[in-house]
Structure 1
Amino acid sequence: MTQIGAVQPWSLGLTLFVVLGAALHQGLAAAVAPPTTAPATAAPHKDPSRPERGNYVVNSSNGTVCLLASMGLQLNITFSSLSQNKTVQDVVNIQPNVTKSSGSCDADSASLQLITDAEKTNLTFYFSLNTTSNKYHLSGVLLSAARPDMKAVYVHNNSLDYLRGTLGYSYMCREEQTLIVVPTLSINTFQVQVQPFGLTGKQFGAAEECQLDEDDMLIPIIVGAALAGLVLIVLLAYLIGRKRSHAGYQTI
């Protein structure tokens, strides 16, 4: 008795799995590929290591905590170098252990001032609260710096819209993000949690996570769902192939 036309179901399933797996890999690679950016025209400097996370507190006039911030900060500054007589770009970490913090709080505005004596750097964040919508955001940044090889730098932009949160809640973003202040200054933030309004004690309110964190959590879910779909497709292919293999048996 001879078997003719038998189809191996496991072979069909394996082929489908390999093809679909390759397609999924290419799709995910395209989705997470970093965007192409134009090279900087300023002279490059070696980037420092990841900045240390600092904890900063601002007290109101009556002594209660009115602003809390915890974050790592890195400045990307373009300035005129006195020794090189040209424009250069530098990356500077804000070091919490040599940084003094202060600030102020009002009903609809708050500020956090960070001063580093060694670098003669004054970095101030300004927050605004919309009392109608109960939403707050980082509305301004001021930077003044005077280092030995630097022509004095003064930057101020009060029309920003970053770190958006809700009154009574803290804003949180674990992922690194870049806040563009002006073309010559941007700030890299790391593991940010900040609350400039609605504090009820010395602890952050419930956190509202940024879109970057939500996207980072979404990727494993998508990958898991895709792999589950592949397993289901392979199982169906196996069952169909097995059924066809029995139908293809002929007796001679």
Structure 2
Amino acid sequence: MTQIGSFQSWCLGVTLPLMLAAVLHQGFAAVAPPTTTPPTTTPTTAAPHKDPGRPERGTYQVASSNGTVCLKASMGLQLNVTYVSQNKPVQDIVNLQPNETKSSGSCGSDSASLQLTDAGKTNLTFFFTLNTTTNKYHLSEVFLSASWPDMKETFSAHNRSLDYLRGTLGNSYVCRMEQTLNVTQNFSINIFQVQVQPFGLTGDKFGAAEECQLDEDDMLIPIIVGAALAGLVIIVLLAYLIGRKRSHAGYQTI
């Protein structure tokens, strides 16, 4: 009976921490960045082109009128566009190549922009807004104009009511995890290893990093699993000691 009780305690100790870790992992996996998808007409079925793989990370800067850097961004960018070609919907995924991309833009007291152009075929512009009351900034607007080989006419997408890449004045926004920024139903941006600061730069260096929620959740999951395993070891050890103590007590009774 002592061995059966110890085995039941050990099974209970194994099951509960692992169930807790699984539930928490599913909860965190469901976290996704906010989306803003205004109503537009989207083709029902799109034939995706070949996946170009992970994009190269580039660094882009904007200088103010006195020559100082006022906006800086390091990130890999992948554009996901759905358009009509030969009367058929096509989903095209294109990586922005840093060595072929020129950056420009402007900086103001409460607004800043970063324009990325790729050999005249792609024009991607990010607009950032600063709330001077709370000293918080965010990506508020994105514009895309693209003339890719299979397109019969120039594709354009624009959204002025976004809320991504939120940070504090003087700090940079950082996210190592891949994010998808939904701009319109026909256009989204996959952004990789992003660090951006549109306001409050000191020289050309990023300010203190503010981690995104996805990174915090990704770091929290191993901690929770490790704590669950540590608890499991303690429960097994306690079950063993209790079982051993009862066993010795049984031998002494005649």
Give the aligned partner of residue 59 of structure 1.
63
Give the aligned partner of residue 159 of structure 2.
157
TM-score, reference length from structure 2: 0.86
- Note if 1:78 corresponds to 2:82: yes
SS of the equivalent of 1:111 reads: strand
Say if 2:21 and 2:228, in contact at 8 Å, map to a contact too. Answer: no
Summarize deviations over 1:3-57 as a string: whole Å, max 9, x none. Answer: xx7x44xx8656644554355445534544566xxxx832132211100000001
Give the aligned partner of residue 128 of structure 1.
129
Q: Which amino acid aligns with 2:73?
A: A
Summarize deviations over 1:58-80 as a string: whole Å, max 9, x none. Answer: 00011110000000001110011
Q: Where do residues 85-100 of structure 1 align in structure 2 (5 Å cutoff)? A: 85-100=87-102
Aligned-pair Cα RMSD in Å: 2.1
Q: Alpha-carbon deviation of 1:238? A: 1.1
TM-score, reference length from structure 1: 0.87
Structure of higher CA gyration radius: 1
Give the aligned partner of residue 47 of structure 1.
51
Q: Which amino acid aligns with 1:232?
A: I
Say if 1:13 and 1:235, in contact at 8 Å, map to a contact too. Answer: no
In structure 2, runs of 5+ residues without a counterpart are 31-43
Query: Within 1, Cα distance between the matches of 2:11 and 2:147?
Result: 59
Matched pairs, number: 238
Q: Percent identity at matched positions? A: 71
Residue 166 of structure 1: which of 154, 168, 189 is its match? 168
Give the aligned partner of residue 235 of structure 2.
233
Query: Within 2, Cα distance between the matches of 1:73 and 1:13?
Result: 55
Q: Alpha-carbon deviation of 1:165? A: 0.2
Query: Within 1, Cα distance between the matches of 2:207 and 2:66?
Result: 20
Say if 1:68 and 1:195, in contact at 8 Å, map to a contact too. Answer: yes
Q: Which amino acid aligns with 2:131?
A: N
Residue 209 of structure 2: which of 189, 195, 207 is its match? 207
Q: Which amino acid aligns with 2:122?
A: T
CA pair 12-227 structure 1, distance change in 2 beyond 3 A: farther
- Note if 1:21 corresponds to 2:14: yes
